[in-house]
Amino acid sequence: MNTPREQWSSHLRCLAASSSSAIGLGTLWRVPYTIGENGGGAFFLAYILCILLVGLPLFIAEILIGRYTRRSVIPAIQTIEKGRSFWEIAGWVGIVASFLILTYYTVLAGWGVGFLALSLTSPHSGVSPGSFERLVHNAPASLLCHLSFLTASISIVYAGVRRGIERWSLIVTTSLFLLLILFVTYTFFLPGFWQAFSFIFTPDFSKITSSTIIQALGLSLFTLSLGQGIMVTYGSYTGKNENVPRLSLFVCIMVCLVASLSALATFPILFTFHLPSQEGIGLVFTTLPLLFAKLPLPMLFSTLFFLLFVLAALGGSLALTEVVVATLMETRNWSRKRAALVVGAGIFLFGLPNSLSYVLTDWADGKNFLTLLDTCMSGWILPLGGILMVLFVRNRFPKEIAREEFGSSPSLKYLFPLWYFCIRYITPILLFLIVWKRLLG
């Protein structure tokens, strides 16, 4: 079924869609708890450097490939290779990664929906010491929350690029910033704000290890939606008049800004009430909700926080879903509606182990299935996808085509040699060394 290629309707909506994809739960949920687990400022600095040295060059590359070929990731590689080739594995790693991430990403978002409902229905922040445990150990409730969020996400992708994804992305991005600024404004007046500020932005280099660098790399790829084919697909909806280097730099700055705001909205509360920062996934679902009850207007702040959580999840979910749907549309010649419904059903079925991860017994080292899958994705699959995509750009994407696409907006064309040097040498070397270190343990 050959249909005209949709495009973003404006520069603002292109920026909103790319930003909402990159921000997502990775920035709002995962950045704060990963900073806490890895000692604060040193890890955050490593994360920012990974975004600039690895994330930004690869982000530009994926957008360029998508815009040049006007295809999602698998057909894009086939277009550049003029047929089937070994390099399709780079695209398939991204597609599989996107699908697997969705199977637990939508579960987490569903739990956020559950907590949002609790917050709206109680004058005392809607939570109690056992709220999270009761939700995740209640199989029907957990499945219902998962299904409710997944239905909303699939419905938007089902509607298309312009009528669905870009419209909601603009709403999500705008709401996300407004709510984050509101939270940070409030936490600024808490006693623990400046202690939290120092924890986040003052690096203690003694806490930097190879493990923290690996986690920073995986987090940078996760938060920028790289190594998954997402930005190739979103790039295919980008007009020729779009300044790709500027767009990419702006999105990376947005991600760094949201990561900073997310941390500043979280840690001042922890330090004010003298609680540990190494709370992992439970930071969102067990620690913060209980603290809201100690703040003025607990119902308001709890509701706003989980609304923020669900909106951030929605932006990332739309991007992850779209890359899988677009691939089925182009490789299987399916309609958008059929592809969206099949992908939605697949996410729900394969997401059952994640949705029931606290009901089932531990899998290994005291970790449940969801935690293990998340660790595998960020620590192994995303860096592998990033390496393969970088090597594909380095070895197979013609330099002159890359130069032409990069310089379609003349204002930044002088940066092409720097970008090309990074994508050819610095980015792949850093990715290779970090993954090699991971293999050696």
The larger pLDDT score, comparing residue 284 to residue 353, is at 353
Mean pLDDT within 60-68? 94
Instruction: Check whether 34 has a pLDDT greater than 80.
Output: yes
The hierarchical CATH code for the domain 11-440 is: 1.10.4160
User: Would you list the domain boundaries of the chain?
Assistant: 11-440
Q: What band does 87 get if pLDDT is binned at 50, 70 and 90?
A: very high
pLDDT in tens, 140-178: 999 999 999 999 999 999 999 989 999 999 898 888 888
Instruction: Check whether 278 has a pLDDT greater than 60.
Output: no
Q: What percent of the chain has pLDDT over 90?
A: 45
Residue type, 83: G
Mean pLDDT within 18-37? 82
Q: What band does 436 get if pLDDT is binned at 50, 70 and 90?
A: confident
Average pLDDT, the chain: 86
Q: What's the pLDDT score for residue 1?
A: 43
Q: Which of 347, 353, 349 is nearest to 368 (CA)?
A: 353
Q: What band does 282 get if pLDDT is binned at 50, 70 and 90?
A: low
This prediction has a pTM of: 0.90
The larger pLDDT score, comparing residue 328 to residue 205, is at 328
Instruction: Check whether 127 has a pLDDT greater than 70.
Output: no
Q: What's the pLDDT score for residue 277?
A: 64
Q: What band does 384 get if pLDDT is binned at 50, 70 and 90?
A: confident
Lowest-pLDDT range, 23-32, 39-48, 171-180? 23-32
pLDDT in tens, 317-376: 999 999 999 999 999 999 999 999 999 999 999 999 999 988 776 555 657 888 888 888
